[in-house]
A and B are shown apart, each in its own frame.
Chain A
């Protein structure tokens, strides 16, 4: 059984650019959630996907969007990057919306 994987590990972008982050869920999991974790803070819920549909969204602007694919892997897209978007982006998979989350190692995004 493979765990949650994320790519890339690190990414450096400049303000105004666009970025796509990828996540492969753990085998048997149909739900993927994305979180933004700033340094010294708790993870902030961005959104959740269940069976390819958005299943809940946090207080993030529309330039944060996502997709879930038939194999339950997922992408997080961020347009028009801002300096404050610099953070660790965590993906977590689960067998349902409110259940135990299995986190991936994260993607460290730096916006210059």
Chain B
């Protein structure tokens, strides 16, 4: 079945440093979504990417969707302590057999030292 892998599992950075997490799917995706989960909280939607090669920016966050629609990345410029949390990618597979099946990666937990 479809699998979504995310690396790294953990990342510790100094405040002001950049951060990147990578997401790879075993199959072609219809779309990919990114979520952030704070400790003790629930996942909160950040963005959805649909088109091959798509790049979207939200302030210091840059999201990319690969040309083959099998990989994605999230890059945070100049991290702040408010960026702390676990970032998940979640892929929706193509085809009727994957209807509604949003498959999450294992997440990358970001710690930011002030």
Name A residues whose Cβ lies closer than 8 Å to a Cβ of B: 31, 33, 35, 41-45, 47-48, 50, 55-59, 90, 92, 97-106
Contacts and interface: CB of A to CB of B under 8 A. Distances in A.
B43 interface: yes
A100 B42 contact: no
Contacts of B104: 35, 42-45
B92 A98 contact: yes
Interface stretch (B12-20, B51-59, B68-76, B93-101): B93-101
A103 B99 contact: no
Nearest to B102: A45
Interface of B: 1, 6, 30-31, 33, 35, 41-45, 48, 88, 90, 92, 98-107
Contacts of A47: 100
Query: Mostly helix, strand, loop or mixed at chain B's interface?
Result: strand
A42 B101 CA distance: 14
Given A45-B102, A98-B92, A59 B1 contact: yes
A100 B100 contact: no
Contacts of B43: 43, 90, 92, 101, 103
B42 A101 contact: no
Contact of A103 (B30, B44, B101): B44
Contacts of A41: 106-107
Contact of B33 (A50, A97, A101, A106): A101
A101 B45 contact: yes
Interface core residue of B33, B42, B45, B99 (most chain A CB under 10 Å):
B42
B101 A45 contact: yes
B100 A48 contact: yes
Contacts of A102: 45
Given A56-B101, A97-B99, A98-B100, A106 B42 contact: yes
Contact of B42 (A48, A56, A99, A104): A104
29 contacts: A33-B102, A41-B106, A42-B88, A42-B104, A43-B43, A43-B90, A43-B104, A44-B104, A45-B100, A45-B102, A47-B100, A48-B100, A50-B100, A56-B98, A56-B99, A56-B100, A57-B101, A58-B101, A90-B43, A97-B99, A98-B30, A98-B31, A98-B102, A100-B33, A101-B35, A101-B45, A102-B45, A103-B44, A105-B42
